[in-house]
């Protein structure tokens, strides 16, 4: 009688293989969170290394090398935090995938920084500090170094918490804190600081109101109409034309300063011409796109998807042109002061400094950007292409209005405020429409009370995110200022 081999060895082998696979998966899960920081550290090291080839590691050159590495770290944080405001609504509305959003933002942010980025920047961030109080070049260099480090660390911390903050305000706070530590309170331009403080409130509130008004208009004139597609054929080309005019004006005012200087009146004329041309082009396109579609809200929302993607790209370009220069301004100031040996109120930004900003921005976006993109696009309130379009349109119009009024506003505050505006409008609109339905459908008193109680607790904006973001906005400037002042004191004492 033949003996049967025991299957136990095979089972043991299977268990060993399964254990080995599980161990490899566990190791991969552990290593994966370390990949992005490792790549970021490599970029920072390479920025310093390549700079050392040009400037050397001698007494003056080492300062530029260290500053370039810190500037690269700052650029990474801009990409991780600030860019989410431009593409987050499109991702939340499912008009763009996360991968598509990262690619579009990286390309257009870098193009905006390199093609249309400002070639001259005030080294002390829009006149916050009077440089005459820091005539000693060594003191000025350490002050700018401290401002750059503090701003980068604060933006990094905000990204880790999940709060989109203003990069410009972080730099302003860093410069102010280092300036106070270096030259005292008298060196600060306090009226300018008061304007910036006012923008903390004005930017998000104005953006939220404009976004809510556009959403109300779309719902009243298009999506809530009996014949939605016919209403869309009439009004969607108008809304796209408004977007084209707004972005043409926005880019003319903010995004093309390096190529040509355009005043606000000329920019408005450019915007009006763009609006008229866009309306003529898009009207037949929208009619063809809507032919044969069912008369539903989903069909109307689909008409906004392509314009929303275009808006995300244009916002990214304008942001790269306008904000990256502000972020690398302290680095440009350090390079100029080391080379010239004197402190200047305005300096030219070398191409390699702008390249550090542009590349760092792209790497930061790719490595760390998805967290804030999801926060802005998905976790504050539910967005669709129609609502996200209102957010993008509001961002462009609010910047134009602020430029006309001469107010220093933050594109981050405007975009996030617009998302909140859309969410709170949805809450108000839901309560009103639900109340009307209750009156029509139910007569019994108890049923009406139950519906009223349900309506009262309906929340379409996450309050926890709202409070976290607002708190981060409020403390950005003072937190960056305190951190910068402490860093300056340490650097100054170490080099004394």
Question: Which residues touch 429 (CB under 8 Å, ≥6 apart)?
Answer: 216, 219
Assess if residue 7 is contained within a domain: no
Q: Return the top range by mean pLDDT from 206-215, 374-383, 456-465.
A: 206-215
Angle 319-320-322 from CA coordinates, rounded to 5°: 65
Yes or no: say if 315 and 90 are a contact pair by the CB < 8 Å rule: no
Calculate what percentage of the chain has a pLDDT beyond 70: 80
The pLDDT value recorded for residue 21 is: 52
Assess if residue 320 is contained within a domain: yes
Between 228-250 and 305-327, two packed helices, what is the crossing angle to 10 degrees?
A: 20
Q: Is pLDDT of 75 > 70?
A: yes
Q: Is pLDDT of 30 > 50?
A: no
The pLDDT value recorded for residue 435 is: 59
Q: Which of 79-83, 407-411, 441-445 has the lowest mean pLDDT?
A: 441-445
Distance (Å, whole) CA 334 – CA 344? 10
Higher per-residue pLDDT: 2 or 53: 53
Q: Is pLDDT of 11 > 50?
A: yes
Q: Is pLDDT of 268 > 80?
A: yes
Q: Is pLDDT of 264 > 80?
A: no
**Interval 296-314 mean pLDDT:** 88
- DSSP string spanning 95-133? SS-HHHHHHHHHHHHHHHHHHHS-SEEETTTTTTB-GGG
State how many domains the chain has: 1
- What sign for the dihedral angle of Cα 131, 133, 137, 142? negative
Yes or no: say if 210 and 398 are a contact pair by the CB < 8 Å rule: yes
**Interval 353-372 mean pLDDT:** 86
Q: Is pLDDT of 8 > 80?
A: no
- What sign for the dihedral angle of Cα 269, 270, 275, 276? positive
Q: What residue numbers bound the domain in which 214 lies?
A: 37-495
Q: Is pLDDT of 6 > 90?
A: no
Higher per-residue pLDDT: 69 or 413: 69
**Interval 247-276 mean pLDDT:** 79
Assess if residue 22 is contained within a domain: no
Question: Residue 329: exposed, middle, or buried by beta-carbon count in 10 A (0-12, 13-18, 19+)?
Answer: buried
**Interval 412-426 mean pLDDT:** 85
Calculate what percentage of the chain has a pLDDT beyond 90: 16
Q: pTM of the predicted model, to two decimals?
A: 0.80
Q: Name the pairing type of β-strands 120-122 and 346-348.
A: antiparallel
- How would residue 116 be classed by pLDDT, with cut points 50, 70 and 90? low
The pLDDT value recorded for residue 277 is: 95
Q: Is pLDDT of 19 > 60?
A: no
Higher per-residue pLDDT: 157 or 118: 157
Q: Is pLDDT of 118 > 70?
A: no
Assess if residue 78 is contained within a domain: yes
Assess if residue 461 is contained within a domain: yes
The pLDDT value recorded for residue 12 is: 56
Assess if residue 273 is contained within a domain: yes
Q: How far is CA 103 from CA 95, 98, 109, in A?
A: 14, 9, 10
**Interval 432-460 mean pLDDT:** 51
Yes or no: say if 206 and 403 are a contact pair by the CB < 8 Å rule: no
Higher per-residue pLDDT: 22 or 178: 178
The pLDDT value recorded for residue 285 is: 92
**Interval 410-416 mean pLDDT:** 80
The pLDDT value recorded for residue 469 is: 81
pLDDT in tens, 314-329: 888 877 776 776 667 7
- How would residue 29 be classed by pLDDT, with cut points 50, 70 and 90? very low
Assess if residue 20 is contained within a domain: no
Whole-number mean pLDDT of the chain? Answer: 80
Assess if residue 211 is contained within a domain: yes
Our measurement of the distance from residue 444's CA atom to the centroid of its chain's CA atoms, rounded to an integer in Å, reads: 50
Yes or no: say if 206 and 417 are a contact pair by the CB < 8 Å rule: yes
Q: Is pLDDT of 293 > 60?
A: yes
The pLDDT value recorded for residue 189 is: 83
**Interval 401-409 mean pLDDT:** 68
The kind and range of the H/E element at 347 are: strand 346-348
Higher per-residue pLDDT: 290 or 452: 290
- How would residue 362 be classed by pLDDT, with cut points 50, 70 and 90? confident
Question: Which residues touch 358 (CB under 8 Å, ≥6 apart)?
Answer: 75, 109, 110, 113, 114, 117, 320, 324
């Amino acid at each position: 009688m033949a003996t049967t081999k025991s299957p136990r060895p095979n089972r043991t082998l299977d268990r060993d293989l399964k254990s080995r696979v599980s161990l490899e998966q566990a190791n991969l899960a552990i290593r994966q969170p370390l990949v992005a920081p490792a790549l970021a550290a490599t970029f920072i090291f390479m920025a310093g290394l390549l700079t050392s080839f040009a400037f050397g590691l001698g007494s003056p050159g080492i300062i530029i090398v260290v500053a370039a590495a810190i500037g690269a770290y700052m650029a990474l944080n801009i990409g991780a935090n600030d860019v989410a405001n431009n593409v987050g609504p499109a991702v939340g509305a499912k008009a763009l995938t996360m991968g598509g959003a990262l690619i579009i933002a990286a390309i257009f942010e870098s193009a905006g920084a390199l093609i249309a980025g400002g070639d001259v920047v005030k080294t002390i961030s829009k006149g916050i500090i009077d440089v005459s109080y820091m005539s000693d070049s060594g003191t000025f260099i350490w002050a700018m170094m401290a401002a750059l480090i503090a701003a980068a660390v604060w933006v990094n911390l905000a990204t880790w918490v999940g709060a989109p903050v203003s990069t410009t305000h972080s730099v302003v706070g860093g410069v102010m804190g280092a300036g106070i530590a270096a030259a005292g309170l008298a060196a600060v331009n306090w009226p300018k600081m008061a304007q910036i403080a006012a923008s903390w409130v004005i930017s998000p509130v104005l953006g939220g109101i404009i976004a809510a008004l556009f959403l109300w208009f779309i719902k009243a004139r298009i999506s809530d109409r009996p014949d939605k597609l016919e209403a869309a054929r009439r009004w969607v080309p108008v809304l796209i034309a408004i977007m084209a005019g707004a972005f043409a004006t926005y880019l003319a005012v903010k995004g093309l300063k390096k190529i040509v200087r355009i005043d606000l009146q000329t920019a408005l004329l450019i915007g009006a011409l763009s609006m008229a041309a866009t309306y003529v082009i898009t009207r037949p396109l929208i009619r063809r796109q809507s032919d044969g579609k069912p008369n539903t809200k989903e069909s109307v929302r689909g008409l906004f998807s392509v314009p929303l993607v275009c808006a995300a790209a244009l916002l990214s370009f304008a942001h790269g042109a306008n904000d990256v220069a502000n972020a690398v301004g302290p680095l440009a100031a350090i390079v100029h002061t080391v080379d010239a040996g004197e402190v200047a109120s305005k300096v030219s930004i070398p191409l390699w400094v702008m390249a550090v900003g542009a590349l760092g921005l792209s790497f930061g976006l790719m490595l760390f950007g998805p967290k804030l993109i999801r926060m802005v696009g998905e976790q504050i309130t539910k967005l669709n292409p129609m609502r996200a379009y209102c957010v993008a349109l509001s961002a462009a119009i609010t910047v134009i209005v602020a430029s006309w009024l001469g107010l220093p506003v933050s594109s981050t505050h405007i975009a996030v405020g617009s998302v909140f505006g859309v969410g709170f409008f949805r809450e108000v609109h839901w309560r009103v429409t639900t109340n009307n339905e209750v009156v029509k459908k139910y007569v019994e008193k108890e049923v009406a009370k139950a519906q009223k109680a349900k309506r009262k607790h309906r929340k379409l904006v996450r309050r926890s995110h709202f409070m976290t973001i607002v708190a981060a906005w409020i403390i950005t400037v003072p937190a960056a200022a305190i951190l910068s002042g402490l860093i300056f004191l340490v650097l100054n004492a170490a080099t004394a």
